[in-house]
Amino acid sequence: MNRRTFTKSLAVTATALGLRTPLLARPPAPQFSITMDDFHWQNPTKLSASERNDAILNSLQSHSIKAALFVIGRNIEAPEGKQLISTWDKAGHLIGNHTYSHRNYNASAAVAEYQQDILRAEALLKDFPRFRKYFRFPLLKEGDTATKRDVMRSFLAQHGYRTGHVTIDNSDWAIDNRLTARLKKDAAADVKPYRDFYMEHMWTRAEYYDSLARRVLGRPVKHTVLVHFNLLNGLFLGDLIEMFKSKGWQPIDAEDAFADPVFSAKPKVVPAGESIVWSLAKENGTIAKTLRYPAEDGEYENARMDKLGL
Ligand SMILES: [Zn+2]
């Protein structure tokens, strides 16, 4: 039987079995959503705070996707911050909690104080209609001991929170640091090399975490891509979404992505945190050996950026 006949006979068999999808159909396209952290708008370079805000919202709007914005509470205390975040609320994006002061939980000895920091952010966020009880740990650090990890898991559950995990972690912030420093020195500098590096970096990380998810779970997950509210995304978020689409990935709303059961997983690893995919991989004896720690950091990217003169 040649290949074509074989394929045809499989399709016939599939139909006979009542399967709607032919057995040799291509695997479904990976799905991804945009989840944006911090909401640092007070450091305008090249674009003003409202220009950056508009650019990011327009990129999401032009692809008809609703993102999740994980807000540092202290960034929306001033009237300008409050006004800027309300544009996200009105545009229908999910608003989540990212603590009041953005401390690293692994480095925080005072757990009760840390919990107050979460509730302090909640008090500032809770009246926005699109606020949902999703919590994202700053720097994705969820505890450096089993006790701290579990105490915080119980606290979040008691307060009705789900963890707003990242699946595709990366270091967009490190590229933004370089870009911003360059533009501060030379406002007319060419931004394209930063864009190109950013696209390549994100695609490398996306492919890595997508294949890691398939290895660990044996299935694709609905991705939450981590990005930050910064100049880099003010300039290039639209290009980023476009790139994923050109690779055959399908954009979805962040709230749809968070419905994937992977986000309810509670991996028992220490230190806890990083991408949820990374954390689940860490639980798996064989795959764990292939992982680096931290999973992502600027230091992994800096040497190549140095070489490229970025
Ligand atoms: Zn953050």
The Å distance, Cα 11 to ligand 1 centre, comes to 49
pLDDT at 3 over 90: no
C-alpha of residue 54 to centroid of ligand 1, in Å? 20
Residue 18 pLDDT > 70: no
Ligand 1 center to 138 CA (angstroms)? 4
Write the pLDDT tens digit of every residue in 179-219.
999 999 999 999 999 999 999 999 999 999 999 999 999 99
Query: How far apart are the CA of 181 and the centre of ligand 1, in A?
Result: 20
Going from the Cα of 5 to the center of ligand 1, the distance in angstroms, rounded, reads 55
Residues 298 and 122: their CA atoms lie apart, in Å, by 30
Between the CA of 106 and the centroid of ligand 1 the distance, in Å, is 14
State the pLDDT at residue 293: 96
Is the pLDDT confidence value at 107 over 90?
A: yes
Ligand 1 centre distance from Cα of residue 103 (Å): 9
The Å distance, Cα 165 to ligand 1 centre, comes to 12
What is the 98 CA–ligand 1 centroid distance (Å)?
7
Question: Is pTM, for the whole model, over 0.75?
Answer: yes
What's the whole-number mean pLDDT along residues 252-273?
A: 98
- Between the CA of 191 and the centroid of ligand 1 the distance, in Å, is 24
Tell me how far the alpha carbon of residue 290 lies from the centroid of ligand 1, in angstroms: 26
Q: Is the pLDDT of residue 7 over 50?
A: no
What is the distance in A from the centroid of ligand 1 to the CA of 286? 31
Q: pLDDT tens-digit profile of 43-62?
A: 899 999 999 999 999 999 99
Average pLDDT, the chain: 93
**Residue 38 CA to ligand 1 centre (angstroms):** 5
Ligand 1: distance of its center to the CA of 9 in Å? 53
Q: How far is the CA of 24 from the centre of ligand 1 (A)?
A: 42
Expressed in angstroms and rounded, the spacing between residue 167 Cα and the centre of ligand 1 is 15
Percent of the chain with pLDDT over 70: 92
pLDDT at 27: 72
Residue 28: predicted pLDDT: 81
pLDDT of residue 256 exceeding 60: yes
